Amino acid sequence: MRAAEVVVKILEDEGIRVAFGIPGAAINPVYKYLKSSKIRHYIARHEEGAVHAADGYCRASGRMALAICTSGPAATNLVTGLYTAQADSIPLVAIAGQAASTLFGTEPFQCVDIATITRPVTKAAWCVTNPAEVSKVMREAFRTALSGRPGPVLIDLPLDVQMADVDYRPEQDGSLPWSKPEPDPESVRRAVDLIVASQAPIMILGGGVILSEATAEFRALAEYLSVPVIMTYMGKGGLPPDHPLNAGHAGIQVGQPIGNRYFLESDLVLAVGCRFGDRHTGKCETYIGSRKFIHIDIEPTQIGRVVPTELGIVADAKLALVALLEEARRRGYRPEPSDRVKRLPALRGELARKTDYDNVPLKPHRVFQEINRFFPPNTIFTTGCGITQIWSGQLQNIERPRRYLPSGGAGTLGYELPAAIGAKVACPDDPVVVVVGDAGLLFMAEELGMAGQHGIPITIIVINNGYLGLIRQNQKYAYSYEHGVSLWYGEGGIYPDNVKLVEAFGGRGERVYEAKDLEGAFARGIDSKVAYLIDVIVERECDCSMGASIDAVREFV
């Protein structure tokens, strides 16, 4: 059996049903067998877009997808997408073609050591030079991607290896086993001891809770203990916005006044599946204070990395949460809601940022108010990086897990459009909405071609201020100047014309200037059954609330 056929058979056996990629000469042997496989292929317009689409597919569904391309510059184009997935612990498999191994060391056409290049931004990367090892590497790649802290992997396949005949017997091959780490029982008992002794505990719901499918277990523990919950940015949607224990977000950018207040009032932090990123903590001395931390994470190196932990538990989030609840029940410990818990829902409303502006040009806050009102709870939102992404994190209400797909740790402009395409492929019955600034849109606008060709309907809401808005704000307040950040150009017009852009790829669109027109535009977008772009013209120099420390966030109105 050809090694290229073995690759496809193992992809099928491991559950891959969707591939996003661009074929080329160095990967065409694999494509020959993809054609007759169970795997549906979506041709991207840029290899980075293929990885983001596979990433979005997984975030929305929990199922892995394949990103695939040819050698040389095609392979190097994967790097940003792999880094984005690695930063947010998203498992996917990337396969790149390669020049024949017999030509290594002679600088052949489109030959680059992509395995070495991508090792810093993947969980693992292999260049397979022995055809007999193809099946072994493929199986190990899936185990690596899924076990422990999930993440992307890359397999580099030289052309001669793909074309080689190998002795492969499918009936003797199968997925490699892996297990989820269970919490140490003594650590579980110590954790409950600390919770019992605290006066103002708080729980942090991180992205790892969503990846572990543990939001129900997290909620059950929080409700049993009557402990307020803060979500990290990657944990958004892990608890409904109107839940009595929902204290919103803490942080210096995506944080909210309610979340920062409740965190600063806490004496014990039970953090599950988070890595204490710097946009969450801000100045560590303020964040740490005199409070104690219990940190639960599947990745041992995360424990104590940023904040000193009173107790670290290396375990799968779901298993740890179940064990904590069982221990609390065994002791009969179930406290009555404290006054700080009882006043949380009312205070959450009092501290909510204002969104009901009637300004023209529109304030972005009003756009997000209308988004919250219009779209149903099953809507999937994607967003990338920049001031629009921060407003989205601060102001959007997300009801369910896996409905908010941001580029968190990497902060990748351009992620949102191809990720939305992947999410729609994964969840065809759910509305999928891209939330993006006018700058971010153009980073991967070519993937409108993938949406158009394959008939993938997504709604794209562009918050258009004609600026690199976050960088303008940073220049203004940190350095007292402005340079190189204006995107609004042309005599008497707004360019580029994003409506014409989407139309060029077979979609439709419209431009909106006033709040009263947003609901109708949203409805037309959902009903259009094509890629539909809504170009919302907003106030050009509207600033976004943020600061260097969670006790010193500057609010703008």
* Homologous superfamily (CATH) for 3-172: Thiamin diphosphate (ThDP)-binding fold, Pyr/PP domains (3.40.50.970)
- pLDDT at residue 248, rounded to an integer: 98
Q: Percent of the chain scored above 70 by pLDDT?
A: 99
* Homologous superfamily (CATH) for 353-537: Thiamin diphosphate (ThDP)-binding fold, Pyr/PP domains (3.40.50.970)
Domain boundaries, the chain: 3-172, 185-350, 353-537
Assign 227 a pLDDT band (cuts: 50, 70, 90): very high
Is 185-350 in the same CATH topology as 3-172? yes
DSSP 3-state assignment of 154? strand
Q: 249: burial class by Cβ within 10 Å (0-12, 13-18, 19+)?
A: buried
What mean pLDDT is predicted for residues 33-58?
98
Let me know: does 232 contact 281? Beta carbons within 8 Å.
no
Question: pLDDT of 414-454, one tens digit each?
Answer: 999 999 999 999 999 999 999 999 999 999 999 999 999 99
Question: pLDDT of 97-151, one tens digit each?
Answer: 999 999 999 999 999 999 999 999 999 999 999 999 999 999 999 999 999 999 9
3-class SS letters over 36-84: CCCCEEEECCCHHHHHHHHHHHHHHHCCCCEEEECCCHHHHCCHHHHHH
What mean pLDDT is predicted for residues 199-222?
98
Q: Is the dihedral of CA 29, 455, 50, 213 positive or negative?
A: negative
Examine the pLDDT at 392 and tell me if it is beyond 80.
Answer: yes
Structure tokens at 354: 């204002």
- Helix ranges (H only) for 73-184 are 73-76, 79-87, 114-118, 134-146, 159-163
Let me know: does 441 contact 462? Beta carbons within 8 Å.
yes
- pLDDT at residue 268, rounded to an integer: 98
- Given the structure tokens 């050809």, which residue do they identify? 2
What is the C-alpha to C-alpha distance for residues 238 and 203, in angstroms, rounded to an integer? 12
What mean pLDDT is predicted for residues 474-486?
97
- pLDDT at residue 525, rounded to an integer: 98
Residue 110: φ, ψ to 5°: 50, 50
Across the chain, mean pLDDT equals 97
- Number of other CB atoms surrounding residue 309 within 10 Å: 19
CA 291 to chain centre: 29
- pLDDT at residue 406, rounded to an integer: 98
What mean pLDDT is predicted for residues 293-299?
98
Q: Residue 495 has what DSSP assignment?
A: B
- pLDDT at residue 494, rounded to an integer: 82
- Given the structure tokens 């609840």, which residue do they identify? 325
- Number of other CB atoms surrounding residue 198 within 10 Å: 18
What is the C-alpha to C-alpha distance for residues 125 and 94, in angstroms, rounded to an integer? 9
Examine the pLDDT at 462 and tell me if it is beyond 80.
Answer: yes
- pLDDT at residue 296, rounded to an integer: 98
What mean pLDDT is predicted for residues 288-299?
98
- pLDDT at residue 339, rounded to an integer: 97
Examine the pLDDT at 490 and tell me if it is beyond 90.
Answer: no
- pLDDT at residue 493, rounded to an integer: 75
Assign 155 a pLDDT band (cuts: 50, 70, 90): very high
DSSP 3-state assignment of 422? helix
**Cβ partners under 8 Å of residue 394, min gap 6:** 249, 254, 255, 256, 353, 544, 545
The topology under which CATH files domain 185-350 is Rossmann fold (3.40.50)
Go through the chain and tell me how many residues it has: 557
Q: Percent of the chain scored above 90 by pLDDT?
A: 98
Lowest-confidence region among 53-62, 449-458, 491-500: 491-500
Examine the pLDDT at 491 and tell me if it is beyond 80.
Answer: no
Examine the pLDDT at 342 and tell me if it is beyond 80.
Answer: yes
